[in-house]
Amino acid sequence: MRSKTLVLLITAVLAVVLSACEVFGINIDGGKLTIDVTLNEEQVNGLIARATAANGRTDTDFLLDNITRIEMIEPNTIRVFGDVAGMEGSYDMTIDAVDGALQIRVAAVDIPGITMDDPRIQEAQSKLGQAFLDQVQSGDPGHFTDISVIDNELKFAFEAPLNR
């Protein structure tokens, strides 16, 4: 009985945490809780914009002043387009599950005045990683089992053990 109560509690907490996501699924099998989260293109765009575009903020250096659009490229790449100092630019980021952890990496950059060794690249990777973790993870221990781009959606699978 305690296990069922725990599952209901976790499900309720996750439903609240993931309420910003349009689609999520929960599966309990073999003593593990698996949460599938799908973020559509608009949601991904918003996360990236808040993490890596100035959008009028002046508190730090950003890769782009404004993000104009993104392209989601299977299996795990997101191309981000925007402007900086009145010129257009873009960067590619990859998103993976590596050893159960979320890994976001800026893989290519085509922004005037920014090269791959620019400190803003590392800062962007860190901010992007935290933004996606905040959106997907409930704070419960667990790990990512799969992350992929399918059509125009970003799909995460997160697995956490159930205490019995």
**Residue 137 confidence (pLDDT):** 53
Q: Per-residue pLDDT for 163 more than 80?
A: no
Give me the percent of the chain exceeding a pLDDT of 90. 18
pTM over 0.75: no
Q: Could you give phi then psi for residue 159, rounded to 5 degrees? A: -125, 135
> Could you report the per-residue pLDDT of 97-108, keeping only the tens digit for each?
888 788 889 999
Give the orientation angle of helix 41-52 with respect to helix 119-136, to 10 degrees. 130
**Residue 84 confidence (pLDDT):** 83
Indicate the domain borders of the chain.
2-161
Q: Per-residue pLDDT for 60 more than 70?
A: no
- Label residue 21 by pLDDT band (50, 70, 90): very low
**Contacts of residue 6, Cβ cutoff 8 Å, sequence gap at least 6:** 162, 163
